[in-house]
Structure 1
Amino acid sequence: MRPDRSDEDDNPAIHYGLIASANQLMKDALVRDKLSAEKDVLCFEMEAAGLMNHFPCLVIRGICDYSDSHKNKEWQGYAAMAAAAYAKDLLSRILPIKIEAEKRIGDVLSSEFIVEKNIIKEVHNTAQQTNTAIDILDSDRRREKVIAKLPYAKGSTFDSFDGALDSRCHPETRIDLRRQIKEWAENGQGKSIFWLKGMAGTGKSTISRTVAESLEKEGKLGASFFFKRGEADRSSVAMLFTTICAQLLVKILLLIAHVETAIDADLNISDKSMGEQFEKLICQPLSQIRGHLPLASKLIIIIDALDECARDGDTFLRLLSQTRNKWSPSLQIFITSRPEQQIRSGFAEVPEEIRENIELHEIPQPIIKQDITTFLEHRFAQIQKKYTKDGRSLPSDWPGLEAMLALVDMAVPLFIFAATLCRFIEDEVYSNPTDQLKKVLKYRKMKSDSEMDKLDVTYSPILKQLIDGRPEKAQKSLVKRFQIIVGTIVHLAEPLSRSSLATLLDIDNQQIEGQLSSLHSVLSVPSSAESPIRMLHLSFRDFLVDADRRDTNLFWVDEAETHKMIMTKCLDRMSQRGYLQENICNLPDHGTLRAEIDNRIITNYLPPDVQYACRFWVYHLKESQSYINDKDPVHRFLLDHFLHWLESLSLLGRIMESVHLIRTLQTLVHDKNMEISKLLSDAMRFARRHSSIIDRAPLQVYSSALIFSPMTSIIRNFYINKIPHWIEKLPEVESAWSAVLQTLEGHSDSVSTVAFSPDGTLLASCSRDDTTVKLWDPATGSLQQTLEDHSRSVSTVAFSADGKFLVTDQ
């Protein structure tokens, strides 16, 4: 409480200091005292807040409380009277002439209003720009979130790092062909598919990259996918549509919401059939935004080397044909391939009115000769410039007209010959381009009527120099080393680095490096030992494994034996101590989710070569054309490491592949009565039943998967000791696996009829009430396609005798 004032205390006191003005009432004593201490504030008011920023004035206020929660109006009248009296006294002391000299309040406020209006406009514009930036940022984050859910085939796009060094067409080559492709791309109302076909080495992929690059600059490229045999994610259609969808999301922002909805509705969409992925991730989202896209705007999808897509090329083409009315209003598709039977069969079902065809090997020979001449002249000029820059010299007219004509004749129609010989001639391992050129020209008189003859002329000079001048014994040793190292490289399902290759093959790294040092003209050999080694062209593999040249090609590689050798190396590597074992990554508990595990931890415990072995040992076993038997290495590996193998596949995000891998193993059992056959049958049921939970949490393979398997399960009983010790009482479970192999879910109402295709590879089902027909893969239970064009209920469905057609009663 304040003590009573004496008579002397009634005299006015003057306080000089800072008055704080705010846009809200001060009612908190703690905040008041804090500001008073920090800013040396004497008092607080709020009516004048902001006024002095726009209007120069003196504020006269009456103070009537203590700026705390005890505020009241008892002294407000007195404070107002005191302020008025002071203002009156102040004004009486100002001379009228000084007042007349000042600007009128209206004039001041008018100019200040204009300034304020401009400021407000600027603030509004800034706010709009900020909101736009926030919307874009939110959209980018949302898109990244959606794309993260779509498996992406690394290195499959035309501008990927792996393809950055791949060649493009010289500006003065392929002029007429590129013009035709450009006209097709610009004619949005024309044919929907362009098929560019040609035999190996005729330059299809180079043309694809050139076209893709041009379309990208014009803003017309929707997506690209370059198939490549020998690279797992790029040698099948498994990631084709998810990769294309991810690229389309970058080009068309309107697709994001619709693709997100499709993924949320089916979290396993990326594991579904080709048809279902195409329908839900591409066709349906495009149809939903069609009204918001320019009528003449169509994006181009480029699919390169479709023939290198294992066994699915024709199926893909049939799918495009059957669904063309859904995608053709928004897309055009450019496809390249070799003219192989499977691809020709697929294109035979694509109506001619929607596809355009060009065969590279049927382009007039004079045009091909001129293009190859232009390419060689350009590359030889580069080699000469590089050679001269290094302080050496070549004749000004090198290589000479005669040599040039001979090289062109040797090359036609294979651009791969021209590209390979240029790499061979400029290889820094061999310092004299003139001598290298002479080695090539020795083959000018070789008969080269067929495609393989041309490949012989292309690759023989490169390989022969590996052993030229060496004693016979040394030659045999060098050839053997070549067949092991290079034979492995060309047969891998996915490229490995030098270090990983050395570890897998158990060969010294220096030997690998020595073998590859003189093969830069046929292999992409990065300077880093941790970067993957790749074939520059698939025709090199074709040349090495051609069975017709087994007796004439000293470097011939036996496919089956090489696959068998790689499979054995894979089993050995996985069986080494410290890799495939329970709790590979030393996770804290059985509930640890795979999504929570850092990839660096996985790579630390499972090096790249071990990862490769886990994923592809079954592939190499199958390609070796070997059978498996009781107590052989495969049987022993499964008994020792089956659960560890499933754990590793889960850690790598590949557990869903286990069903296919086990089924492949089943096909390789020589006698179905063997113990290995029974083990694999049980393993199949085990993987089908529990793959979902193992996919989420890898260590559940040792707990819930074992616990909830039937009592008579071979896997359960063999690994019963792997169940965690803290689980004291096991639940009651069924005695044996039920007769139900799999439940197919997809129809929204009752199913009226089912029918198997004549070869048993497809199952058709129809529903009377949801008016759809669905095609299933009975082996995996995956939905292949949904036919929705029926206007009435469908009660009957049947396959034609050849399995090519499906008939319904509507």
Structure 2
Amino acid sequence: MSLTPQSSRTRDRVRSFFGRSPSPLPNRPARATPISVQTSLHNPADSRNASGILADALETLTAEDRETVRNLLPANVIGIDAAVAEAHTHASELQQLCAKTRWSWNYKGREIYVSDQVDKIVQFLDKFKSVGDVVANVDPVHVGLPWAGIRVILEAIRRRGSPSIAKALWGSDDLMQFEERCNVLCIRAAEEASLCASEISEQWRVNLDTRLSSLDEIHHLRASLTKLHDKADLAKLVSAREATYDSSAEGGLPRCLPGTRIELLGRINTWTVDPLGKRIFWLCGKAGIGKSTISRTVAETLDKDGRLGASFFFKRGRADRSHAKLFFPTIAKQLADKIPDLGHAIAAALEEDSLICEKHMTKQFDKLLLQPLQSNLTIQPLLRDCFLVIDALDECEDTEQVETLLKLLKRIEDVTSSRIRILITSRPDPPLIAGFKAMSSSLLQDVHLEEAQVESIRSDLEIFFNHELVQIGTRYPRLNPFGSLPTDWAKPHDIKLLVNKSHPLFIIAFTICKILSSSNKPQEDLRQILLQKNGNGVSTGLEAVYLPVLQQAVATTSKGGTKETLTLFRKIVGSLILLYDPLSATSLSRLLVTSIREVGTFIPPLRSVLNLPEKVDGTLDPLGAIKPFHLSFRDFLLDPHLAADDEGGKFWINEAQAHKQLAGHCLRLLRGGTLMEDVCRINAPGKRRAAISQAVIAKNLPEEVAYACSYWVQHISTSGERLKDDGDVHRFLKNHLLHWIEALSWLGKASDVIHSLGSLRAIVDVSHAQMNDLGAVH
């Protein structure tokens, strides 16, 4: 068979390539760094690495061989993986062709079939494909070079498709050498794979662990960012201050003593553990019977058991707690803190509407409670058994809000994805009775406290008196080092009389014990209390306790019960019981323009009915907030029936007049130079409030000024006064409207401005045209 010069040159180059002895495997040096192993995770550098391996292989060839291989490789094949895949495809096609044609030649009496040799090529390529990535990473040149030679042969045979061409390229000896070389290459590939298998497997595991750790970190980072995002949105919730059962205002107040209220607490506990228990439990009873103490006890028990979702304790005369405008935001904030998934849903609602806390209660309920509870939440134990405790709903001063709130709470039965149940306590006032009657019997369980305790109330009062009088006897020597009380200073008969005098109001028992606890001569005062007869006048039962306290407070002053003393009493005590937020003795004296000494004249003698802050040494802390122990003291002093009482008339507080005087004190204080442009002296217009420390704000807007800014409108509205042209309010707004708005902004109450202007507009007594002028301001 004649060969063309070109064929001869090609055969020589191929023979030259395959005639080389395989380079010995280099010693495997210890690696300072792990082998870079490509896992199934995509790496953008893969194609570049593969292309580099092929380039390294071609660089070892002569220029002519390199040109031949490059001419045979398709233009789109740039990597070792793609080239091997193509070679395998063509070899498979050639394998099928050879099997059909049975091409062969005779060598030393033995018939050599081309198909057998091609089979070996395909087998080698199969092995190379399975370990190619591994070996290429370890020894790219040793793998790349043999492949390049095999590729030349495969391409030559594929393009010519004839055994004669194979014979032209190879002699019989060449074919046998090629057979041997194929075997050597397969063995080398297997050895390479085996040598680095464990190292690569370990490195693959380490890399996988690293990648998984990275994914965990990314997931953790994403979760943290979500929490931060939620936290930023939840910060938009405006909640009522000191409204929870464990707040600074409620946390220190009494709980039920062990052994008391056993039957009632047992009934409530049965309701809480009953999976079929009704959604709403209403506990009603008259003032002073102990509803709030029961509420705090139940809320604390549920909280310890991990079943309390939220609590809200209404309080008449206490700013945010005297109305229901912030009820749902306060409940939502507590639920969000305890149930992260629910918090995420609430945060989404706030992101959609950041001013939702200023919207109507119905929208607040839908967006902050109902819809989040109906969203796709991960069921947690608290969601399966969650309780809300709402105390003293009757102390919400807006009757319409009470009616709306009860209508909305009825819809809690629409929530089926979680089981929310509600304990509500209140007096049996007509609006509340009507609201609860509108609820279905399947939703509501109601208990009247007087009926539930008809048998146990006396024994509960007896337990309470025994406990408290023992405590008073124990504390007395510490408070009076030079005095002592006999262990039997309160006899069993005395306790029975005290029970009769208090029944059925725990607030009377509580106040009696406070009187004795603060007395320097408790045994004598006990005799006086027992001799005091219950009257038939205002708040029967309460006057027998409160009147002696008031009479003693006035009697201890330097001027006794004079008209001047009683006027000062009404000014100080009347203001104290009507404050929307409690003030310290120091701040109250500044607001009322009276001396701290005069405030101190009445405050200490009233420690049995007022919660007085004390220092470590037991003396009165003039910087601590003062507030009544119980709302009944406020109600007693404001009751119009007291005015007609022979004994108590001199202590009666005219509520409307007291509110008017308080409004006047607030405006006087604000007009007196405390309000001005840049009141906090920041000298940087546009600076965010969050960037200014609370200490700077408190220094420039002290407690009494902050109170006056916040509540002068409420005092003037409650007083029943009508606003007239050129009156105090008119002049104040003309000169200080913007200063007042700025101060409220620093206090975090900028949103109160719109509501306050609306309240003022409602009490303006001017012509229609002037009314429209104020409406334009509004």
Whether these two folds match at TM > 0.5 is: yes
Relative to the length of structure 1, the TM-score reads 0.66
Q: What do residues 61-89 of structure 1 show as CA deviations (whole Å, max 9, x unaligned)?
A: xxxxxxxxxxx99xx9xxxxxxxxxxxxx
Contact 1:188 1:296 in 2 (8 A): no
Measured after TM superposition, the shift of residue 308 of structure 1 is: 1.0
Distance of 1:157 and 1:469 partners within structure 2 = 37
Residue of structure 2 equivalent to 1:146: 233
Q: Quick one: which of 517, 535, 555 aligns to 2:651?
A: 555
Whole-Å separation in 2 of the counterparts to 1:469 and 1:301? 46
The alignment's TM-score, normalised by the length of structure 2, stands at: 0.69
The corresponding residue for 2:521 is 432
- Equivalent position SS for 1:572: helix
Change (3 A) 1:685 1:590: farther
CA contact (8 A) 1:222 1:251 kept: yes
Q: 1:612 to 1:681 in 2, by over 3 A?
A: farther
Distance 2:471 2:675 in 1: 51
Which deviates more, 287-296 or 456-465?
287-296
The separation in 2 between residues aligned to 1:307 and 1:473, in whole angstroms, is 38
Work out whether residues 237 and 329 of structure 2, in 8 Å CA contact, stay in contact via their aligned partners in 1: yes
Cα offset, 1:458, TM superposition: 2.4
* Residue 572 of structure 2: aligned partner: 485
Structure index of larger Rg: 2
User: How much has 1:133 moved relative to structure 2?
Assistant: 7.9
Of stretches 400-409 and 132-141 in structure 1, the one that deviates more from structure 2 is 132-141
Of 503, 506, 509, 2:593 maps to 506
Gaps of 5+ in 2: 1-28, 36-55, 61-195, 615-620
- The reply on whether 1:546 has 2:639 as its aligned counterpart is yes
The 2-side partners of 1:158 and 1:339 are apart by 22
Name the SS of the counterpart of 1:576 in structure 2. helix
> Which letter does structure 2 place at the counterpart of 1:235?
S
Deviation at 1:165, TM superposition (A): 1.1
2:447 aligned with 1:351: no
Write the distance in 2 (CA, Å) between the matches of 1:492 and 1:315.
26
Out of 463, 467, 473, which is 1:378 matched to?
Answer: 467
Query: For residues 630 and 435 of structure 1, what CA distance do their matches in structure 2 show?
Result: 58
In the TM superposition, what is the alpha-carbon distance from 1:190 to its structure 2 partner?
Answer: 2.4
Question: After superposition, what is the alpha-carbon deviation per residue over 1:666-719, rounded to whole angstroms, capped at 9, x for unaligned?
Answer: 33233435xxx71x53343334xxxxxxxxxxxxxxxxxxxxxxxxxxxxxxxx
Query: What SS does structure 1 have at the residue aligned with 2:581?
Result: coil
Partner in structure 2 of residue 183 of structure 1: 270
8 A contact 2:577–2:634 mirrored in 1: yes
Tell me how far 1:322 sits from its aligned partner.
4.3
Shift of 1:471: 8.2
> Identity across aligned pairs (percent)?
35
The answer to whether 1:535 aligns with 2:628 is yes
- Cα 1:273–1:110, aligned 2, differ >3 Å: closer, same or farther? same
Deviation at 1:117, TM superposition (A): 13
CA distance in 1, matches of 2:489, 2:222: 60
Rounded to whole Å, the distance in 2 between the matches of 1:650 and 1:520 is: 36
Choose which of 537, 543, 564 in structure 1 pairs with 2:660.
564
1:533 partner letter? I
Asked if the contact 2:553/2:602 (under 8 Å) is kept, the reply is no
C-alpha displacement of 1:627: 1.8
Q: Deviations for 1:367-393, whole angstroms, at most 9, x for unmatched residues?
A: 100101111111111111112455543
Identify which of 361, 373, 393 aligns with 1:274. 361
Quote the Cα distance in structure 1 between the aligned partners of 2:544 and 2:280: 35
Secondary structure of 2:568 counterpart: helix
Distance change in 2, residues 1:446/1:131 (3 Å):
same
Contact in 1 for aligned 2:335/2:343 (Cα 8 Å): no
Which residue pairs with 2:723 in the alignment?
Answer: 628
Q: Is the 8 A contact 2:238 2:326 kept in 1?
A: yes
Q: How does 1:67-216 map to 2 (within 5 A)?
A: 141-216=228-303
Q: Sort the Cα spacing of 1:370 and 1:628 in 2 relative to 1 into closer, same or farther, 3 A.
A: same
> Quick one: which amino acid aligns to residue 634 of structure 2?
R
DSSP-derived class of the 2:445 partner: strand
* Pairs within 5 Å for 1:39-78: 47-49=31-33
The Cα offsets for residues 156-177 of structure 1, whole Å up to 9 and x where unpaired, read as 1111122221010001111111
| Counterpart position of 1:305 | 392
Matches of 2:198 and 2:605 in 1, distance apart?
Answer: 81
Contact 1:192 1:332 in 2 (8 A): yes
1:423 corresponds to which of 514, 518, 531? 514
Q: 1:665 aligns with which of 760, 769, 774?
A: 760
Q: Please report how far the alpha carbon of residue 582 of structure 1 lies from its aligned counterpart in structure 2 after TM superposition.
A: 2.5
Alpha-carbon distance change, 184 to 498 in structure 1, aligned in 2, over 3 angstroms:
same
Q: Provide closer, same or farther for how the CA distance between residues 582 and 361 of structure 1 changes in structure 2, counting only shifts above 3 A.
A: same
2:346 counterpart residue number: 259
Establish whether residue 320 from structure 1 lines up as the match of residue 413 from structure 2: no
Query: As a proportion of its length, which structure holds more helix?
Result: 2
Residues 591-606 of structure 1: matches in 2 within 5 Å?
591-606=686-701
In the alignment, the residues of structure 1 paired with residue 535 and residue 578 of structure 2 have an alpha-carbon distance, to the nearest angstrom, of 29
The one-letter code of the counterpart of 1:149 is K
1:562 shift after superposition? 0.8
Paired with 1:447 and 1:560, the residues of 2 have a C-alpha distance of: 27
The CA deviation at 1:183 is 1.3
Aligned mates of 2:460, 2:397 — CA distance in 1: 32
Determine the C-alpha separation between the residues in 2 that align with 1:441 and 1:116.
Answer: 89
Instruction: Please state if 1:446 is matched with 2:539.
Output: no
Kept in 2, the 8 Å contact 1:188–1:297? The answer is: no
In structure 2, the residue matched to 1:770 is none
Q: Cα offset for 1:121?
A: 13
Q: Quote the RMSD (CA, aligned, Å).
A: 3.6
Hey, what's the Cα distance between the residues in 2 that align with 1:477 and 1:135? Answer: 69
Deviation at 1:115, TM superposition (A): 13
Q: 1:667 to 1:123 in 2, by over 3 A?
A: closer
Which amino acid counterpart does residue 615 of structure 1 have in structure 2?
A: S
The one-letter code of the counterpart of 2:657 is E
Cα distance, 1:592 vs. partner? 3.5
Deviations 1:517-558 (A, max 9, x none): 121211111134333211111000011111111132131111
The aligned residue for residue 655 of structure 1 is 750
User: Are the aligned partners of 2:320 and 2:326 in contact in 1 as well (CA < 8 Å)?
Assistant: yes
Per the alignment, do residues 110 and 203 of structure 1 end up closer, same or farther by CA in structure 2, a change over 3 Å counting?
A: farther
Q: Distance in 1 between matches of 2:490 and 2:757?
A: 57
CA drift of 1:225 comes to 0.7
Return 5+ residue gaps in structure 1 as ranges. Answer: 1-44, 52-71, 77-108, 688-810
SS at match of 1:366: coil
**Contact 1:659/1:684, CA 8 A, preserved across alignment:** no
What one-letter code is carried by the residue in structure 1 that aligns with 2:718? E
Aligned counterpart, 2:495? 404
CA deviation after TM superposition for structure 1 residue 125, in Å? 12
Say which SS state the counterpart of residue 311 (structure 2) adopts: strand
Distance 1:117 1:169 in 2: 65
SS for the counterpart of 2:487 is coil
Cα drift, residue 403 of structure 1: 1.1
Relative distance call for 1:129 and 1:500 in structure 2 (3 A) is farther
TM-fit CA distance, 1:492: 1.0
